[in-house]
Amino acid sequence: MNSTWPVLTSLIAYPLVGVLILVFVQKEKWVRVLTLIFGIIEIILALPLLKFKLGSSAFQFQEFHPWITQWQINYHLGVDGISYLMVLLTIILLPLCVLCSWTYIGKRIKEFHICLLLMTSACIGVFVALDFVLFYIFWEAMLVPMFLLIAVWGGPERKYASIKFFIYTLAGSTLLLVAMIAFYKQAGTFSIPELIAKDYPFRFQFWAFLAMAIAFAIKVPMFPFHTWLPAAHVQAPTAGSVLLASVLLKMGTYGFLRFCLSLTPAASVYFAPMMIAISIASIIYGGLVALGQKDMKKLIAYSSVAHMGFVTLGIFIFNLRGAEGALMQMLNHGITTGGLFMLVGAIYERSHSREISANQGLGKFLPAYLFFFGLFSLSSLAFPGTNSFVGEALVLIGTFKKNMLLGLLAIPGALLAAAYMLRLLQKLAWGEPSAAKGQDWNDLSLREWIYLLPLAILVIYLGLAPGLALKTMDASLAKILNHVLVR
């Protein structure tokens, strides 16, 4: 389906228009209000995407304009069942991030909201780009606002965390640049659909896969490339942590699906045992380290390493159930972990601490807060009826289908998730509270209800009725898997 109205361009460009307008706004209150309005209008601009044709593996809403014709670089956009869901997730998060930062951010408010808008534009661009150069531009463009979010509005160790984040991701980007140039020399085009349609010698695929896989593994992040993540999450402001967990990490797993499996299918099969082993190591390691954390944000950060391990496991077992589970888990992790980080930010505004011991027993004072925290915690440990259960169950079904031993090796990850999330929930709900602090705690405000409720509804909706999401992704995933298995 080619778009008559450039809906994808409008989704990328509109946040940039918002940036230009914010430059001339002086009052801090209006900066927040206008950014919230920009976020709501961005959702309205995305409504034409509801015409997405289910059951089709083709790229839809395509836009094509020649750009640098000498080098075969074109402005080419489109979405399939994989990128479609990621675009919707990114758009939904913008107004929620504005609301959760309403009182959290107290300095350089205009610059902060400009960074949010730039991040949104770049992230959508990554998911819809069908030209490798365009993809790379958006991939790089996302680094600067994320770096600033951590470095300017982060915690006491923000400089260390931001520089570590930048060095790691820049190193990955360099490898991706090398791979992009190599594909151009090999195929003479940067068009992603044309690159997918070509066959490459195994030796070329071998090296191209390694370069791209390291770049994407850093972004996911997979063990042992994960060390930048806890520092970045702990130091980042709430909105930064939400965008980091909900969108940025998904770029790595999206890259595995779009580039590694699609462009280097034979090498993907060759390296699959290694990728599966690293995925299981990420699941176990992330779960064990999360179990020993005293800081709520750090616990959730390490749990992300484990959850994303399930995603990469589902991708590299090469069957439809596993791939469905991986993509569902990408979506679910963005919703659930985003919600958890918002809740940690909300309690930090009250207690000025993210330590579990400093916030234990809050259930006595904050029943509404505890309700949301309980719901997102149950989702995080993949409790039946919640969204994460669907994704994790599909990954495990696919893994057992491929190999019984691999399935058994992944099971402890699910048990560890239950252990660390229930331990956290138990401390917050029934720990001995500090009476002095408790008297000062207020339950959720209307603003907090507004930004938590949409994510809570998605947790339940995707948990009870995942059929529409699965229909959206199935054809595209089947096409990629068929591409891998027949090469």
Residues 376-401 have a mean pLDDT of: 92
Q: Per the structure block, which two tokens stand in for 473?
A: 């992704």
Q: In whole angstroms, how far apart are CA 257 and each of 21, 213, 263?
A: 36, 11, 9
pLDDT in tens, 121-141: 999 999 999 999 999 999 999
pLDDT in tens, 56-78: 889 999 999 999 988 889 999 99
Residue among 58, 74, 66 at smallest CA distance from 3: 58
Q: Reply yes or no on whether the pLDDT at 7 is more than 60.
A: yes
pLDDT in tens, 338-375: 999 999 999 888 888 888 888 888 888 888 999 999 99
Token duo for residue 179: 């791979």
Structure tokens at 121: 């534009």
Mean pLDDT (the chain) is 91
184-232 pLDDT, tens digit each: 999 999 999 999 999 899 999 999 999 999 999 998 888 888 888 888 8
Please tell me the distance from the alpha carbon of residue 260 to that of residue 211, in angstroms, as a whole number. 10
* Residue 435: predicted pLDDT: 56
Looking at the DSSP bridge assignments, the partners of residue 64 are 76
Distance CA 82, CA 10 (A): 20
pLDDT at 306 over 60: yes
* pLDDT tens-digit readout, 307-343: 999 999 999 999 999 999 999 999 999 999 999 999 9
pLDDT (mean) for 159-164: 89
Q: Virtual CA dihedral for 417, 421, 423, 427, nearest 10 degrees? A: 170
Q: What is the pLDDT of residue 1?
A: 52
The phi and psi torsions of 131 (rounded to 5 degrees) equal -125, 130
Question: How many Å apart are CA 83 and CA 473, to the nearest integer?
Answer: 9
Residue with token string 């079904």? 397
- Which tens digits make up the pLDDT trace of 240-263? 889 988 898 889 999 999 999 999
Which residues are CB-neighbours of 203 under 8 A, at least 6 positions away?
none
Query: What is the rounded distance in angstroms from the CA atom of residue 21 to the CA atom of residue 60?
Result: 31
pLDDT digits (tens, 9 = 90+) for 280-305: 999 999 999 998 888 998 999 999 99
Environment class of residue 76 by beta-carbon count within 10 Å: exposed (0-12), middle (13-18) or buried (19+)? buried
- pLDDT for position 487: 62
pLDDT interval class at 467 (50, 70, 90): very high
Maximum CA pair distance of the chain?
70
